[in-house]
């Protein structure tokens, strides 16, 4: 996926190295949208390959795809729908955490909404699994809590 090296500074590319050792290229203007990357560029210079310890080769291309579309000013509702269409819940979560780490605000907000959409009408057990949290209530505490909170339950989807 080598990009053409350009001599003009406006389309300069930055090299990013994932936690599992792979290198990806991204246009400098797209890299700027991710504040963590920009800070690393400011510290290390833009000729060096920027190391991203907490982002991996599975998700970085997807993130680069999003910001590549963003700098051409073309992110539509259709693009966003298409972007998440084939991603399962875990993949969205991974992207969300990566966007958080990279301080990539636009992607982060979009993914927040997508996670919220996916969690609508799901059961408590599903939400626990999704966030990877352990139930630390006693059975009595939990059933009391469920009763107190029951006033808003409209209808739970079948767990997928």
Tokens of 20: 């599992």
Residue 18's DSSP bridge partners are 52
Nearest-angstrom CA–CA distance, 149 and 34: 39
Residue 49's DSSP bridge partners are none
Number of residues near another protein (by CB under 8 A): 48
Does position 159 bind another protein by CB under 8 A? no
Between 65 and 117, CB nearer to another protein: 117
Do residues 66 and 105 lie in contact, with contact meaning Cβ atoms separated by under 8 Å?
Answer: no
Give, in order, the Cα–Cα distances in Å from 53 to each of 15, 18, 50, 157: 14, 6, 10, 37
Does position 82 bind another protein by CB under 8 A? no
Minimum distance from residue 128 beta carbon to another protein (Å): 5
* One residue of 3, 11, 44, 153 binding another protein per CB under 8 A: 153
Chain residues that interact with another protein, rule: CB under 8 A? 19-20, 53-54, 56, 58, 76-77, 81, 90, 93-94, 97, 100, 108-109, 112-124, 127-128, 131-137, 142, 145-146, 149, 151-155, 157
């Amino acid at each position: 996926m080598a990009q053409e090296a350009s001599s003009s500074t406006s389309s300069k590319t930055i090299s990013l190295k994932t936690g599992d050792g792979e290198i990806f290229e991204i246009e400098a203007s797209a890299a700027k949208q991710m504040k963590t990357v920009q800070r690393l560029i400011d510290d290390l210079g833009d000729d060096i390959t920027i190391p991203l310890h907490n982002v991996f080769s599975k998700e970085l291309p997807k993130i680069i795809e999003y910001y590549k579309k963003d700098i051409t000013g073309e992110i539509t509702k259709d693009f966003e729908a298409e972007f998440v269409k084939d991603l399962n819940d875990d993949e969205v979560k991974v992207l969300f955490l990566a966007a958080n780490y990279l301080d990539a605000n636009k992607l982060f907000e979009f993914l927040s909404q997508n996670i919220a959409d996916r969690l609508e009408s799901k059961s408590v057990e599903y939400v626990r699994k999704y966030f990877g949290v352990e139930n630390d209530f006693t059975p009595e505490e939990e059933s009391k809590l469920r009763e107190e909170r029951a006033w808003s339950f409209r209808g739970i989807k079948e767990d997928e």
